[in-house]
Structure 1
Amino acid sequence: MHRVSSILAGAAFRSALMSLLLFLAVFFVAGVVIVSQTRSEAETEIRALVSNEFELFRDAAGNESDLKQLVDSSAESAGPRFFVVALYKPDGTLLAGDDFPRPAKLGWSTVESAINATTPSEQYLALTEEIGGNRVTFGRTLYFVEVGSAALWRALMLASIVVGIGALAIGYFASHGVSAKLDRMAATLERVARGDSRIRLPVGRSNDQVDRVSAQMNAHLDRLSDLVGTMRNTVISIAHDLKSPLSRAYILLQEAEEAPDEIERAKLLEEAQAEIERLNGIFDTVLRISRIESSDDQSGFASFSAQELVSETLQTFEPVVEEANQILVAAPTSSDATIVGDRRMVVQLLVNLITNASRYSPPGARIELGTGLEDRHPILVVADNGPGIPADHRQAVFEPFLRLNPERDEKGSGLGLALVQAIATRHRATVRLEDNQPGLRVVVRFPAIEPAG
Structure 2
Amino acid sequence: MKARLAQLWRSMPVRLALLLVLLFSTVSLLSLAASYAVTQNSFEAAIRADLEQDIAGFRAAPNAGAVALLVDAESRDTDPSRIVLSYISPNGRLFGNGAIARDDEGYHIVSLTQDRAEYDGAYLALTIPLYGGQLTVARSRAQIEALGTVFLNILLISLLPTVLIALSGGLYLARRSKRHVEVIGHTLDDLTDGDLAARVSVSPNWADDMIRIGNKVNQMAGAQEAQMQMVRQVSSDIAHDLKTPIQRVAVHLDDLARLVPPETEGGILLEKAQDEVTGIASVFQSLLQIASVESGSPKSHFQPVDLNQLCLTFSEVYEPAATASNHSLIAEVPPEPIKVKGDKNLLGQVIANLVENALRHTPEGSRISLSLKTQDEHAVIEVADNGAGIPEAEREKVLRRLYRLDASRNTPGNGLGLSLVEGVVKLHGGTLQLLDNAPGLKVRIVI
2 CA distance for matches of 1:119 and 1:110?
A: 11
Query: Conserved in 1, the CA contact under 8 Å of 2:36 and 2:151?
Result: yes
Q: Partner of 1:164 in structure 2? A: 163
Alignment of 1:375-390 (within 5 A): none
Q: Partner of 1:148 in structure 2? A: 147
Could you tell me the TM-score, scaled by structure 2's length?
Answer: 0.50
How far apart are residue 32 of structure 1 and its match? 2.8
1 CA distance for matches of 2:58 and 2:47?
A: 17
Q: Partner of 1:206 in structure 2? A: 206
2 CA distance for matches of 1:211 and 1:112?
A: 73
Query: Conserved in 2, the CA contact under 8 Å of 1:110 and 1:125?
Result: no
How far apart are residue 78 of structure 1 and its match? 1.8
How far apart are residue 115 of structure 1 and its match? 10
How far apart are residue 103 of structure 1 and its match? 7.6
What is the DSSP-based 3-state SS (H/G/I as helix, E as strand, rest coil) of the residue aligned with 1:43? helix
2 CA distance for matches of 1:94 and 1:143?
A: 29
The amino acid of 1:210's aligned partner reads M
The amino acid of 2:55's aligned partner reads F
How far apart are residue 227 of structure 1 and its match? 1.8
Query: Conserved in 2, the CA contact under 8 Å of 1:113 and 1:123?
Result: no
The amino acid of 2:125's aligned partner reads A
1 CA distance for matches of 2:107 and 2:35?
A: 22
What is the DSSP-based 3-state SS (H/G/I as helix, E as strand, rest coil) of the residue aligned with 2:100? coil
Q: Partner of 2:223 in structure 1? A: 223
Q: Is structure 2 residue 155 aligned with structure 1 residue 186?
A: no
Q: Partner of 2:4 in structure 1? A: 3
Q: Partner of 1:99 in structure 2? A: 98
How far apart are residue 83 of structure 1 and its match? 1.5
Q: Partner of 2:127 in structure 1? A: 128
Deviations 1:20-42 (A, max 9, x none): 23433443343333322221111
The amino acid of 1:223's aligned partner reads A
The amino acid of 1:3's aligned partner reads R
The amino acid of 2:74's aligned partner reads S
Query: Conserved in 1, the CA contact under 8 Å of 2:126 and 2:137?
Result: yes
Query: Conserved in 1, the CA contact under 8 Å of 2:64 and 2:132?
Result: no
Q: Partner of 1:83 in structure 2? A: 83
Q: Which deviates more, 26-35 or 131-140?
A: 26-35
2 CA distance for matches of 1:128 and 1:114?
A: 17
How far apart are residue 143 of structure 1 and its match? 0.9
CA RMSD of aligned residues (A): 3.4
Alignment of 1:335-346 (within 5 A): none
What is the DSSP-based 3-state SS (H/G/I as helix, E as strand, rest coil) of the residue aligned with 2:124? strand
What is the DSSP-based 3-state SS (H/G/I as helix, E as strand, rest coil) of the residue aligned with 2:198? coil
Query: Conserved in 1, the CA contact under 8 Å of 2:127 and 2:136?
Result: yes
What is the DSSP-based 3-state SS (H/G/I as helix, E as strand, rest coil) of the residue aligned with 1:101? strand
1 CA distance for matches of 2:121 and 2:39?
A: 20
Query: Conserved in 2, the CA contact under 8 Å of 1:192 and 1:199?
Result: yes
How far apart are residue 194 of structure 1 and its match? 3.0
What is the DSSP-based 3-state SS (H/G/I as helix, E as strand, rest coil) of the residue aligned with 1:17? helix
Distance 1:125 1:96, change over 3 A: same
Query: Conserved in 2, the CA contact under 8 Å of 1:113 and 1:121?
Result: no
Alignment of 1:259-274 (within 5 A): none
How far apart are residue 12 of structure 1 and its match? 1.8
Query: Conserved in 2, the CA contact under 8 Å of 1:114 and 1:122?
Result: no
The count of aligned residue pairs is 255
Q: Partner of 2:195 in structure 1? A: 196
Distance 1:154 1:44, change over 3 A: same
Q: Partner of 1:69 in structure 2? A: 69
2 CA distance for matches of 1:161 and 1:123?
A: 31
Identity of aligned residues (%): 23
2 CA distance for matches of 1:196 and 1:174?
A: 30
How far apart are residue 64 of structure 1 and its match? 0.9
2 CA distance for matches of 1:182 and 1:147?
A: 51
Distance 1:75 1:168, change over 3 A: same
Distance 1:179 1:22, change over 3 A: same
Q: Partner of 1:370 in structure 2? A: none
Distance 1:119 1:89, change over 3 A: closer
What is the DSSP-based 3-state SS (H/G/I as helix, E as strand, rest coil) of the residue aligned with 1:125? strand
Query: Conserved in 1, the CA contact under 8 Å of 2:127 and 2:137?
Result: yes
How far apart are residue 43 of structure 1 and its match? 0.8
Distance 1:112 1:52, change over 3 A: same
Q: Partner of 1:404 in structure 2? A: none
Deviations 1:88-118 (A, max 9, x none): 2479x453112221589xxxx9864569878
Query: Conserved in 2, the CA contact under 8 Å of 1:68 and 1:96?
Result: yes
Q: Partner of 1:236 in structure 2? A: 236
Deviations 1:265-287 (A, max 9, x none): xxxxxxxxxxxxxxxxxxxxxxx
1 CA distance for matches of 2:126 and 2:168?
A: 52
The amino acid of 1:38's aligned partner reads T
Query: Conserved in 2, the CA contact under 8 Å of 1:110 and 1:126?
Result: no
Unaligned runs of 5+ in 1: 260-453
2 CA distance for matches of 1:48 and 1:238?
A: 105
How far apart are residue 245 of structure 1 and its match? 4.5
